[in-house]
Amino acid sequence: MTKTMTFAAVHFTVAFSVTYIITGSIVLGGAVALVEPAVNTVAYHFHELGWKRFGQRQTVASKTV
């Protein structure tokens, strides 16, 4: 859990820093630092579903050979 929490802290920091550097806005940087990881989490869920399906297809294909 410690590794997960430190990764989240790094993720928030990067999202805030990049947005702040580009826009100069602390408010916008904070908003992006909160919203982007949430959206990324949902996207990751669908990414994993895709890989699961891909893995299942590979397993079926290797059994038919």
Percent of the chain with pLDDT over 90: 48
Count of H-run helices and E-run strands, the chain: 2, 0
For residues 27, 7, 42, 24, the Cα torsion angle rounded to the nearest 10 degrees is 20
Please tell me the distance from the alpha carbon of residue 54 to that of residue 36, in angstroms, as a whole number.
Answer: 26
- The answer for 25, left when phi > 0, alpha when psi is -120 to 50, beta otherwise, is beta
Q: Could you tell me the CA-to-CA distances from 4 to 10, 11, 24, 58, 65 in Å, in that order?
A: 10, 10, 29, 30, 40
Structural domain including 56 reads 2-64
Say how many domains are in the chain. 1
**Residue 62 pLDDT level (bands cut at 50, 70, 90):** confident
Taking the complete model, does pTM exceed 0.75, yes or no? no
